Structure 1
């Protein structure tokens, strides 16, 4: 573990400079981080890596056997906002940090804002851009800076109860128009096609992302917020109609009530990410073999396939590492070596950000829970069909909290989905203003 100190103001400048051209911010761009000194011949390189993927310790052990010159000490940390990130920000404040950290796409801009991550562009990470699905590389890139190596994503598809669909003479809907008709048919059997979770703003954002509503982005000078737009209105009007007609449930898409409804056949499909496969298998055991996966519905049946994403993470080098070049070498191995990526997929990493999956053995798996289907074929197409212009904001957590609060109120008779979206844009802009970040809407 090595030491590093950086002020929040410097972090603001780094992020604003990378994603938003500092002329608009009225300050000067921070110099690119200087790589640490090369290791002397024979000098052991020791790195510390924080992550939460199950079984990551075994993967790190494989690296350590292969690379006695660069040894990695693995520290398992809890995932997300209640674990890894407070620990990371506390370490940055204390000046004692790991060399590498797993970080979600949504959190990455905030970590850069804290001045916590090394820009990998000067270290040559751009030479490996072709190895990753384009939109995942965009998730870790701001302006000319690259702040992580993409690891995994959450491309979305339709999970559905094939046994019940077959029994009721239904096929998975190919378009959203068909989705509404299928939802009507499913209600005839006292069941719901799916749930619109009124506790999960990320689901609403993903549905809008697929429809071409790019809520968040960045141009050369500033952050861009565009929640209140025609594509969002189309999505919110559609789901509001389904809710008002009682064609979809509105319970959370996780937790005991949801999984009981899934096991009882009261909810018969789920718009879910790749990682939902493992969640379903672990929480609906008595439905094994009865599920299948299909492409998510499309707004334009004749146009190019458009999908969306829920989740995703990357591997960042933390500012202050003595050996950032060696840390990057490990991060690239972790996320591009076919055998390693395959092992991580099996352990539950998520869908690989790697572009060429032809040598990743786990991609060919036939899943017994899904009736022997090779579901990764569906998710591969989904991963390749995500719009790459979406950029999470450094205030993403606050943005989603605003929307979540309103969604929960909607469930109790509050405002409509469209009203929630209109209000969210103003609140998100205020959050950016409080942090002094340049923006437009």
Structure 2
């Protein structure tokens, strides 16, 4: 899951990376990972594992785990959502005490925490056996060869949600390409100047949304492996990234899309009043949309993400989370068991996750199982929306994150903001971000290649 659920969309960590250079200096010449303590086997009764997580309805998932595990019990702490949790975790890791045994981390945060040797290599405790249980792109983000630093839980494959009633009213065609999307956007705005095809996520809470669109377009901004430190490839201004901002910049300039900040009243109202005819969303979006636009129930449908090349089937992801074991655990074996099995392939846990928390599973048996794929959603007029989202999830290709993702997201948001204000050309945004991020990375001790 992502920290993008109500009351706010995906949060971008704002923590300054003043400590990055110091952390990097200590680990650049060593493989990133955690040592961790070991179970003594001397205590009586079950081993208690402390878990930090913010999943909705997680109390029920914990209860299900504890009911089915005799020797290991989970003690759940809600230590904050997104950045609030990460700040506490980084503080505890730096202090050498106070971190949980198991922690929920979004995928883009893994390289940053891993860099500080804050994560245990669960591959030493049997986690590699789970590789085939997960979609490959998520497993690749959670591991480095045979080193496993996280167990995937949920993701955010992207698709297009649209108001079927508005499409019928304005005789709009459901677009299959981005060129068609632009054509239909112009047709809509001509018919009703107060309506927009969608909202362009320009603020920091939408940084992951913009990255997901570039992911789908074929951009791969980083080449990163902890085992190859201090080397990292950074290419934030490749042609595929540039075409995304050229495209959306043109839609903005022609007033075919709105530019309200995500996670604001204006944005929520746009989804709920018919101001926006589509919402380019993630697999967790159905739960979010049904919450903020409840009065529009039955009017929405889901279609595949428009393509840059007709029939290409390219996909992107916005959001996703995992369970990691921290290097401070005294019970690495049991903590790994918890990380692997809290959700894992448990049908009981995932029924809670799917029906009540609107999580999008990355576990292959659940993702491709009949229950999830055939589930009908009243909010979407009874549509089996996962017949769209599941192929999207299975079609996502490999993508690397960087250990300075927060800085990159914040820089991108700043440059996009300048373009919106007319202070810089949309065609220059990616180049400006590339220059600033590579400069920053070099100052932190990384050897950057393009």
Q: Could you tell me the TM-score, scaled by structure 1's length? A: 0.90
**3-state SS of 1:107 partner:** helix
Structure 2 partner of 1:308: 316
* Cα pair 1:14 1:112 within 8 Å, conserved: no
Which of 351, 362, 367 is residue 353 of structure 1 equivalent to? Answer: 362
Cα distance, 1:40 vs. partner?
Answer: 4.8
Match of 1:3 in 2: none
Aligned twin of 1:123:
125
* 1:278/1:14 CA distance change after superposition, 3 Å: farther
In the other structure, the counterpart of 1:251 is 260
Cα distance change on mapping 1:33 and 1:286 into 2, 3 Å = same
Mapping of 1:415-426 within 5 angstroms? 415-426=424-435
Matched, 1:273 2:277: no
Structure 2 vs 1, CA of residues 396 and 379 (structure 1 numbering), >3 Å: closer, same or farther?
same
Deviation at 1:439, TM superposition (A): 2.5
Instruction: Report what 2:411 is aligned to.
Output: 402
Secondary structure in structure 2 of the residue aligned to 1:351: coil
What's the CA shift for 1:42? 5.3
Per-residue deviation, 1:350: 2.4
- Structure 1 unaligned residues grouped into runs of 5+: 1-6, 17-26
Distance 1:29 1:316, change over 3 A: closer
**Cα distance between partner residues in 1 of 2:189 and 2:33:** 60
* 1:10 CA drift (Å): 9.3
**Equivalence for 1:21:** none
In the TM superposition, what are the counterparts of 1:354-369 in structure 2 within 5 Å?
A: 354-357=363-366, 358-359=368-369, 361-369=371-379
Q: Which deviates further from its counterpart, 420-429 or 139-148?
A: 139-148
- Classify 1:35/1:77 alpha carbon distance in 2 versus 1 (closer, same or farther; 3 Å): closer
TM-fit CA distance, 1:409: 2.2
**How far apart are the structure 2 equivalents of 1:288 and 1:416?**
39
Contact 2:37–2:327 (8 Å) recurs in 1 = no
The structural deviation recorded for 1:41 is 8.7
- On the 8 A contact 1:37/1:322 being kept in 2, the answer is yes
Corresponding position of 2:308: 299
Change over 3 Å in CA distance of 1:35–1:123 after alignment to 2: farther
> How much is the aligned-residue C-alpha RMSD, in angstroms?
2.2
Aligned to 1:379: 389
8 Å Cα contact 1:205-1:215 kept in structure 2: no
The match for 2:12 is: none
- Counterparts in 2 of 1:224 and 1:342: CA distance versus 1, 3 Å: farther
Change (3 A) 1:437 1:188: same
Gaps of 5+ in 2: 1-18
Contact conserved, 1:312 with 1:350, CA < 8 A, in 2?
Answer: no
Contact 1:342 1:360 in 2 (8 A): no
Counterpart for residue 288 of structure 1: 297
Q: Given that residues 242 and 248 in structure 1 are in contact (C-alpha distance below 8 angstroms), is that contact kept between their aligned partners in structure 2?
A: yes
Give the aligned partner of residue 72 of structure 2.
70
Structure 1 residue 207: deviation in Å?
Answer: 1.2
State the SS of the aligned residue for 2:307: coil
- Point out the more displaced range, 400-409 or 219-228: 219-228
Which stretch of structure 1 is more off in the superposition, 145-154 or 168-177?
A: 168-177
Question: Which shows bigger deviation, 314-323 or 216-225?
Answer: 216-225
Q: CA deviation at 1:29?
A: 4.0
Alignment partner of 1:189 out of 191, 198, 213: 191
Q: Paired residues, what number?
A: 422
Judged with a 3 Å threshold, the aligned counterparts in structure 2 of structure 1 residues 349 and 371 are, in CA distance, closer, same or farther, namely closer
* Residue 325 of structure 2: aligned partner: 317
Q: TM-score, normalised by structure 2?
A: 0.88
What's the secondary structure of 2:108's corresponding residue?
coil
* Contact 1:140–1:147 under 8 Å retained in 2: yes
Match of 2:11 in 1: none
